[in-house]
Structure 1
Amino acid sequence: MKMDAIELAQLAQAHAEPRYDIYAGIHKAARALFADALLALGRMDADADAERADALARLDALLDFCGQHLAHENAFIHPAMEARAAGTSEALAHEHDDHRLAIEALRGLARRLDKTPAGQRAGLAHVLYLRLSAFVAHNLEHMLVEETAHNAVLWAHYSDAEIAGLEGPFTAALSPEESAFALRWMLGALSHPQRLALLAELRFHAPAPVFDGALDLAREVLDDTQWARLSRGLGLAPAPGLVA
């Protein structure tokens, strides 16, 4: 995908004058999930039951996540854009309709693959892999537009506090399991400064059990070096008995 001059200017502006980016963390999680599911399908032996079950479970988790993310953007971000800059969300809103159809098509292919007799799965597995590849490619371009053009609209018409407030209703509607799933992938995909800022915010605003649960997730997904650095940043001991 070739970026035009407007997109490049928007990226440069965002870098020079940092604003609240409602897409940054969740899109990093999405990109990690896309890569995980695509790799799993690509290396899957469709006739090995355990491999097939694992790959299809990863695909199913990705598609659930994509559906939730679409719902968030459609219910909260796009209406906010339209309220102060009419017409600015229309193009990608139509793409969301296409994404919903693609999600259902991928689910259908996955079900067909799982029901296909052993020895006859390789061709359909490759079709599923290619269809997911196309879905991932389109979503990567779609997210780039959101992080440039859509952010530019939000930043021009809303304060950072107002933009952050768009996340609250959606987050509140998620189940504990859905929240933990998204947070786990975000923690593994964020840079250290982003991860530290996220957990510092949780520590300040969320109940202690929520913060402790987030720390447990971070420990699961980070290597020892990343975990030690995060612990020091939060003023915590990286392991019991050690000094922060």
Structure 2
Amino acid sequence: MKIDSREIAALAQAQPSAPRMDMYAGIHKALRAFMADTLLGLGRMDVDDDLEFAQTCDRVMQMLDFCRSHLRHENQFVHAAMEARQPGSSQRVDSEHVEHEQAIAALAAGVSHLLSCARPSRPAATQALYRQLALFIAHNFEHMHEEETAHNQVLWDRYSDEELVRIHDELVASIPPQEMLTTARWLVPFMSPAERTAMLSDMQQHAPKPVLAAVLAHVQPHLTQQEWTKLVRSLGLPPVPGLVH
């Protein structure tokens, strides 16, 4: 996909005149952050430091697991909703999801190969995995753009915001607690302050208090002091997550 000034202008004009429920916005910020940070970490990894080497390889595998789960959630909830009211509307991206599953398996095999390499072979194998991961991420960024534009248009044309909220809530309810913490780790720090407040205010109103406390404790190390102060102030909470009762 070639981005030029006309395409950028078209993107701006394509935004709805009034804000709509966007199921992709938050999770795609999380995915972009997790992918970019993992790629950067792999690029600067010290292959001669065994602990750093093992931790970085594990980090790549965690990111791949997260991507795999994300594909399942979209297939089960978002694509199913699209197909229910506009058959065929998710078909092209469905085929890309199959390709992504294959790419994830290939990358996981690349990590396993890297872990089994003799120390002198690590630099070359790391570089090969780095380039493979970079291409995977590049394709995913284009893929997410397609979902945020074409797929959202189908959803907005066929569903009310109230219906989209229900679909989103069903998706979120299906996510296991540990995966939800991983999502929060990559979602909350990379949201705008207003988005953080909206998401966590909803959690404050509807989730058990220990759940909110766990999420806040999990994300605090990844926020600046200024971001953290703004967040807890917006939630009406003291600045220490342990004081959330």
TM norm. shorter chain > 0.5: yes
How far has the Cα of 1:7 moved from its partner? Answer: 8.2
* Distance (whole Å) between structure 2 residues aligned to residue 20 and residue 11 of structure 1: 17
- Matching residue's letter, 2:83: E
Change (3 A) 1:6 1:120: closer
- Report the 3-state secondary structure (helix = DSSP H, G, I; strand = E; otherwise coil) of the residue aligned with 1:124: helix
Runs of 4+ in 1 over 6 A off after TM superposition: 4-7
* Distance (whole Å) between structure 1 residues aligned to residue 29 and residue 112 of structure 2: 28
* Distance (whole Å) between structure 1 residues aligned to residue 174 and residue 155 of structure 2: 23
Instruction: Report the counterpart of residue 43 of structure 1 in structure 2.
Output: 44
Instruction: Report the counterpart of residue 168 of structure 1 in structure 2.
Output: 169
Change (3 A) 1:21 1:82: same
- Residue pairs, 1:193-232, within 5 angstroms: 193-232=194-233
- Residue pairs, 1:74-89, within 5 angstroms: 74-89=75-90
How far has the Cα of 1:238 moved from its partner? Answer: 2.3
How far has the Cα of 1:47 moved from its partner? Answer: 3.0
Confirm whether residue 72 of structure 1 aligns to residue 73 of structure 2: yes
* Distance (whole Å) between structure 1 residues aligned to residue 12 and residue 159 of structure 2: 18
* Distance (whole Å) between structure 2 residues aligned to residue 156 and residue 124 of structure 1: 47
The alignment yields a C-alpha RMSD, in angstroms, of 1.9
Change (3 A) 1:54 1:15: farther
Instruction: Report the counterpart of residue 2 of structure 2 in structure 1.
Output: 2
* Distance (whole Å) between structure 1 residues aligned to residue 8 and residue 157 of structure 2: 15
Structure 1: 5+ residue runs without aligned partners?
Answer: none
- Residue pairs, 1:1-244, within 5 angstroms: 1-3=1-3, 9=10, 11-14=12-15, 16-239=17-240
* Distance (whole Å) between structure 1 residues aligned to residue 136 and residue 189 of structure 2: 22
How far has the Cα of 1:76 moved from its partner? Answer: 1.0
How far has the Cα of 1:169 moved from its partner? Answer: 3.2
When structure 1 is superposed on structure 2, of 157-166 and 129-138 the one drifting more is 157-166
* Distance (whole Å) between structure 2 residues aligned to residue 12 and residue 144 of structure 1: 15
- Matching residue's letter, 2:56: A
- Report the 3-state secondary structure (helix = DSSP H, G, I; strand = E; otherwise coil) of the residue aligned with 2:2: coil
Structure 2: 5+ residue runs without aligned partners?
Answer: none
When structure 1 is superposed on structure 2, of 216-225 and 132-141 the one drifting more is 216-225
The TM-score with structure 1 as length reference comes to 0.92
Tell me, yes or no, if the aligned pair for 1:7 and 1:148 is still in contact at 8 Å: no
How far has the Cα of 1:85 moved from its partner? Answer: 1.2
How far has the Cα of 1:215 moved from its partner? Answer: 2.0
How far has the Cα of 1:218 moved from its partner? Answer: 3.1
How far has the Cα of 1:173 moved from its partner? Answer: 2.7
Q: How many pairs does the alignment contain?
A: 240
- Report the 3-state secondary structure (helix = DSSP H, G, I; strand = E; otherwise coil) of the residue aligned with 1:21: coil
